[in-house]
Chains A and B, each alone.
Chain A
Amino acid sequence: MREVILIKNGELVLKGLNRNTFEDVLIKNMKRALKEIGEFKFTKSQSTIMVAPVDEETDLDDAVEALSKVFGIAALSRAAVTEKDIKAIKSTALSYLGEKLEEAATFKVEAKRSDKKFPLKSPEICRELGGFLLSKFHHLKVDVHNPDIIITVEVRDTYAFIRGNNIKGAGGMPVSTSGRAAVLISGGIDSPVAAYMMAKRGIELISVHFASPPYTTELAERKVMDLLHKVAAYSGPITTYVVPFTELQEQIREKCPEEYFTLIMRRYMMRIAEILAKRQNCSALITGESVGQVASQTIYALGCTDSVTTMPVFRPCIGMDKEEIIKISRKIDTFETSIQPYEDCCTVFTPKHPKTRPHMDEIENAEEELDSAALIERAVKNVRKTVIK
């Protein structure tokens, strides 16, 4: 028996003439997600892409798990391929879904007949197959409203497909159909969520992390890499820059007013991130900021950080409550890692009473005290680059 995975495209089907391009990117991303699982063939037809393993031994559980994290897929399902013959449909349904039917207490059969020449009409297919399965599994009952399993028979041009329940896809748009952006990642709860949300809209990610040894530890940096690894399961590989930030932070601490420490630090982070982002042909920056969450995230403070870059800064968490952000972080499995208690560069130099309504002229005056160009140049020169998969 041949088994395939059927992919229902998300909003891609709404695209016009460039739909093909979007689908090709989606297929490329699926191939990458499946690389370690096996070799697959991809066939497009209408709003469905059929993913068929080349080797029948390939583990489709693993394949479905990997594909459920690929953006641009609304729903996916495993299906058995069979001949367009009601006898074959019955026996395939029995052998293919037998295990699942043993798990279920109730079921329902649905049929779709795009080949109108098939001798049985859809309700007849349902009746035939339903009756047959009832005769084979005595514990089963039919429930058309709220069944444990819905068995769908699709009679198409060349084959019939038999499948069980649909699995929800990751939604969104295929990664890299919307360009590239650089995410500033700290190790907290918000920035991985922001990265995930933008990747979901089809943006390819690079990331920038600021490390301040000896004020921050190896563990803090490893935590960031762990977080990126989890995001990469959705977004694909993330080129990551670790920026040595110690000198800059020490200079800020020495020469600037304490109440502006964080804000000035944020401004330098944005400047450096923008340089690295341009180097990687990115068109935007991404941060995990949310209005009012901390002093540096008041709208006045955000205005001051934004003014140092010319790139648009995307903040997908901006209007979300912490609880809402945490909900997503749990879903993408970054929460447990994010809450590991290691010092990061944002927590080390926190002022006692940060300015919540900063004045731009005071900030600019304070920055005058620093040899900005040289400090930025040294930081950028000494970045470490790794690719997180």
Chain B
Amino acid sequence: MCAYLDNSATTKPLKEVADKVYEMLSDTFGNASSFHKLGLDANAEVRRAREMIAKALSCDIEEIYFTSGGTESNNLAIFGAVQANRRKGKRIVTTAIEHESVLQACDELEKQGYEVIRITPDSKGEITEKQIFDAVNSDTILVSIMYVNNEVGTIMPVKAIRKAVSRAHAPALIHIDCVQAFGKLDVKPSKLGADLVTITAHKVHGPKGVGALYVRKGVRILPRTFGGEQEKKLRPGTESSPLIAGFGKAVELFPDIKAQSEKIKEINQYAREKLSAINGVKINNTPAASDYILNVYIPAFMTSQTIVQHFSSQYGVYISNGSACAKGKKSHVLTAMKLSDKIIDKSVRISFSGNTTKADIDALVQAVSETVEKYPV
């Protein structure tokens, strides 16, 4: 038995997605910019994927730019926006609990002389609208805040960004990293007040190596890479048509978001109840967070990294120690929440998808309780 509970790291691709990618690689392998039939066919697949994604975001197909994934989309959005706005101001507003690809990009811009404001969360991992209002001034050229945090699932008050930017009469572009929200919450950019939105395929049962950046019509950002005419020169390079088509297929097969949320809510409550009943176990994130993510302190004589390995080898239970992108580095999110090192060292992330069942939770609960019992702190 395998209980895969690491869906915020990546999800299992759907069979239809894998088939689509295979078919594109083996049959429809033309260059999507070629004018012959194989090219036109690949081009049609890319377009279909673009239509699917535009429909999911309720935007126009011209507003979707394919990239290699979340990290590239975030970098393109941040550097592209700052570069385009560089004469209008100096301030960049973000939070201390963004994904590495946003934090590192902002660090780099700080070295280049921009003023970076990093809003810090409270101990529950939450930030307030007021913090956003206070951080944005008329010199602000970019606000980049994620919709759902990838480690503790906090749902950020992103709709306040537009209000803050308008009130301050700031020339800022608004970037929202929706990697963990896409397919789970309503991420219509127009409703969020976003100019730029990052999404990626492999968190929604699509293939790895493909994502997209939504760029609102009329918004100008500058490219990071230079080359051909693809993606209107904002992201040149031969379109990865197999992966893009796979992404489109995954989005086409999205389940009803509301119905799935109900189901996940139930699973989350079940897991919270069962885990809290185990002696010493603590849940680090609030029930107000996304139901798809639990962050749990496990009082065993092991660090989170060894807990993860132990669970997979002994129980077939797959979870993670913080963000997979950090490769074992101490979690900056839990650190920003001012949790003690003792807690941080033994905290793990459990993340759900539409495939998760109560049986998966039962397997997890068994792993946790046996481990806590056998290897007490």
B190 lies within 8 A of chain A by Cβ:
yes
In the assembled complex, B342 has its CB within 8 A of some CB on chain A: no
Q: Cβ of A99 and Cβ of B167 under 8 Å apart?
A: no
Known: A333-B217, A336-B232. A218 touches B40 (CB 8 A): yes
Whether A103 pairs with B162 at a CB distance below 8 angstroms is yes
Q: Quick one: closest A residue to B188, CB to CB?
A: A61
Report B-chain residues with C-beta under 8 Å of the C-beta of A99: 163
In the assembled complex, how far is the CB of residue A340 from the closest CB belonging to chain B, in whole angstroms?
Answer: 10
Contact of B35 with A by CB under 8 A: yes
By size class, the interface of chain B is 10 to 19
Minimum CB–CB distance for A23 against chain B, Å:
30
User: In whole Å, how far is B46's beta carbon from the nearest beta carbon of chain A?
Assistant: 13
Given contacts A333-B217, A336-B232, contact A148 B40 (CB under 8 A): no
B235 to chain A, nearest CB (A): 15
- Chain A minimum-CB-distance residue to B190: A61
A139 within 8 A of B: yes
Closest B residue, CB atoms, query A149: B166
Least Cβ–Cβ distance between A289 and chain B, in angstroms: 27
Q: A61-B191, A333-B217, A336-B62 are in contact. Are A104 and B167 (CB under 8 A)?
A: yes
Judged by a CB distance under 8 angstroms, whether A217 is at the interface is: yes
Assess whether A254 is interfacial by the CB under 8 Å rule: no
Bound: A59/B326 CA distance, A: 40
A103 CB contacts on chain B under 8 angstroms: 162-163, 166-167
B169 within 8 A of A: yes
Task: List, in ascending order, chain A residues with CB within 8 A of B191's CB.
Answer: 61
- Indicate if A102 sits at the interface (CB-CB under 8 A): yes
Of A102, A148, A217, A219, most B-chain CB atoms within 10 Å: A102
A148: chain B residues at CB < 8 Å are 166
Q: Does A105 contact B (CB under 8 A)?
A: yes
In the complex with contacts A103-B162, A333-B217, A336-B62, A219-B167 CB distance below 8 A: no
Chain A residues lying within 8 Å of B40, measured Cβ to Cβ, are 217-219
Cβ-defined contact, B163 with A102, below 8 A: yes
> Are A102's CB and B167's CB within 8 A?
yes
- Per the bound structure, the CA–CA distance linking A187 and B166 in Å amounts to 38
A105 to chain B: which residues have CB within 8 Å?
167-169
How extensive is the interface on chain A, given as a class? 10 to 19
Q: Which of B35, B217, B232 contacts A217 (CB 8 A)?
A: B35
User: Which residue of chain A lies nearest to B36 when distances are taken between CB atoms in the complex?
Assistant: A217
Task: For A139, list chain B residues within 8 Å (CB).
Answer: 167
Q: Which residue of A lies closest to B193 (CB)?
A: A103
CA distance A105 to B169 in the complex (A): 8
Instruction: Tell me the interface secondary structure of chain B in the complex.
Output: helix
Q: Could you say which residues of chain B place their CB within 8 Å of the CB of A219?
A: 35, 40, 43
Q: How far is the CB of A195 from chain B (nearest CB, A)?
A: 19
Report the tally of A-B residue pairs with Cβ distances under 8 A.
30
Q: Which residues of A contact B35 (CB under 8 A)?
A: 217, 219
A218 to B36, CA, bound (A): 10
Tell me which residues across on chain A come within 8 A of B62, comparing CB atoms: 333, 336-337
| Assembled-state Cα–Cα distance A219/B168 (Å) | 45
Scoring B58, B163, B168 by chain A CB atoms within 10 A of each residue's CB, the highest score goes to B163
Query: CB-CB < 8 A to B232: which residues of A?
Result: 336
Chain B residues with Cβ below 8 Å from A62 are: 58
Inter-chain CA distance A180–B143, complex, in Å, is: 49
Across the interface, do A104 and B190 meet the contact criterion of CB distance under 8 Å?
Answer: no
| A218: B residues at CB distance < 8 A | 40
B62 to chain A, nearest CB (A): 6
Q: Bits for B35-56, please: 1 = Cβ < 8 Å to A, else 0.
A: 1000010010000000000000
A102 contact set on B, CB distance < 8 A: 160, 163, 167
Restricting to B151-205, which residues have a CB under 8 Å from any CB of A?
A: 160, 162-163, 166-169, 190-191
Q: Whole-angstrom distance between the alpha carbons of A65 and B121 in the complex?
A: 36
Docked complex: A336-353 residues within 8 A CB-CB of B: 336-337
Q: How far is the CA of A139 from the CA of B168 in the complex (A)?
A: 11
CB-CB contacts below 8 Å: B262-283 with A: none
Instruction: Please judge, given known A-B contacts A61-B190, A219-B35, A219-B40, whether A104 and B166 are in contact too, CB under 8 Å.
Output: yes
In the complex, which residues of chain A have a beta carbon less than 8 angstroms from the beta carbon of B167?
102-105, 139
| Minimum Cβ distance to chain B for residue A55 (Å) | 16
Which B residues from 46 to 97 make CB contacts under 8 A with A?
A: 58, 60, 62
Q: Which of A250-305 contact B (CB under 8 A)?
A: none
Cα of A219 to Cα of B217 in the assembled complex, Å: 23
A333 to B62, CA, bound (A): 10
User: Which residues does chain A contribute within 8 Å of B190, judged by CB atoms?
Assistant: 61
> What sequence of 0s and 1s flags, for each residue 335-370 of chain B, a beta carbon within 8 Å of any chain A beta carbon?
000000000000000000000000000000000000
Q: B168: nearest residue on chain A (CB-CB)?
A: A105
Interface residues of B in 214-243 (CB under 8 A from A): 217, 232
Q: Considering only CB atoms, which chain A residue lies closest to B165 in the complex? A: A103
User: Bound state CA distance, A105 and B162, in angstroms?
Assistant: 13
CB distance from B45 to the nearest CB of A (A): 14
A212–B163 Cα distance when bound, in Å, is 52
A149 CB, nearest partner CB in chain B, Å: 10
Kindly identify, within residues 56 to 81 of chain A, every residue whose CB is under 8 Å from any CB belonging to chain B: 61-62
- Docked CA distance A103–B168 (Å): 8
Residue of A nearest to B162 (CB): A103
Residue interface mask A167-182, B partner, CB < 8 A = 1:
0000000000000000
Q: In the complex, how many angstroms separate the beta carbon of B35 from the nearest chain A beta carbon? A: 6
The residues of A that contact B163 with a CB separation of less than 8 Å are 99, 102-103
Query: Smallest Cβ distance from A142 to chain B, in angstroms?
Result: 15
Name the residue of chain B whose CB is nearest to the CB of A148.
B166
Distance in angstroms from B162 CB to nearest chain A CB is 7
How far apart are the CA atoms of A283 and B77 in the complex, in Å? 50
Neighbouring A residues of B160 by C-beta, 8 Å: 102
A218 CA / B163 CA spacing, docked (Å): 45
**A309 vs chain B, min Cβ distance (A):** 35
Q: Report the separation of the CA atoms of residues A337 and B217 in the bound assembly, to the nearest whole angstrom.
A: 13
Pick 20 A–B contacts, CB within 8 A, sort by A. Answer: A61-B190, A61-B191, A62-B58, A99-B163, A103-B163, A104-B166, A104-B167, A105-B167, A105-B168, A139-B167, A217-B40, A218-B40, A219-B35, A219-B40, A219-B43, A333-B60, A333-B217, A336-B62, A336-B232, A337-B62
Chain A to chain B: the 9 pairs with minimum beta-carbon distance, closest first = A103-B166, A103-B163, A102-B163, A105-B167, A103-B167, A336-B62, A218-B40, A217-B35, A104-B167
Give me 15 other A-B pairs in contact (C-beta within 8 A), A217-B40, A219-B43, A337-B62 excluded. A61-B190, A61-B191, A102-B167, A103-B162, A103-B163, A103-B166, A104-B167, A105-B168, A148-B166, A217-B35, A219-B40, A333-B60, A333-B62, A336-B62, A336-B232
